[in-house]
Amino acid sequence: MNTDMPNGMARLDRIDQRILELLQQDGSLSNLELADKVGLSPSPCSRRVKALEESGMIQGYRAHLDARRLGLDLLALISISMDRHTPERFDNFESQVAACPEVLECYLITGQSADYVLKVIVRDMNAYQQFLLGTLTRIEGVSGVHSSFVMRKVVDRTALPLAAR
C-alpha cells in the first residue's frame, strides 16, 4: 500500500484491493482462508491486513444483522430543517442525534430545503411517533421535519466499489 498520492488517497495494489473486497464480503474469514484466496502465505497476508487496519482503510469488522428478525420493521428517511445555520446549532443537533440508537445514519446536506437527512429504524409507527415527538422535535433548532417511509429495500449494500477507484 502506497500513501504518497497527492489527495491522501492510498494507492492499492491488486492484492490489497482483493483483500479488501474479500473482507467486505465476509469479515469473518480467517487469515488462513484469506491468504489462500489472495494467493499469499499467511504471514504476508496478516501483515497486509494489519497495515490496512493501521492506515484506517479497514475501520472495523461488524456483523450484518436482520432488522426484521429483531423486530425493527419501520425504516424512515427524515429530512430535518434547522431554524438557524450556525456552527453551535449544527454541533448541538449532531451531538444529540449521534446519541440516538434509532439513528443509523445522519448526513448534513445541501441542494435541498432541508439541512439534514436521517436514516432511522424503529419497531413500528408507535415507536416512530415516540421518537419523533419525544426526541427529534425537542432538539433545539429543529424547525421542520419531513418523513418518508421505506416500503422496500431495492439495494442494500455496504461494500464499497473498489474497482471504480
pTM for this predicted structure = 0.86
DSSP letter at 138 equals G
Answer yes or no: are the C-beta atoms of 129 and 120 closer than 8 Å. Answer: no
Domains of the chain: 1-63 (1.10.10.10), 68-149 (3.30.70.920)
Per residue of the chain (165 residues), what is the pLDDT tens digit? 655 555 667 789 999 999 999 999 999 999 999 999 999 999 999 999 999 999 999 999 999 999 999 999 999 999 999 999 999 999 999 999 999 999 999 999 998 799 999 999 999 999 999 999 999 999 999 999 999 999 999 999 999 998 765
**H/E element holding 74?**
strand 74-82
CB burial of 88-108 (b: ≥16 within 10 Å; e: otherwise) equals ebbeebeebbeeeebbeebee
Return the axis-axis angle of helices 42-54 and 31-38, rounded to nearest 10°: 100
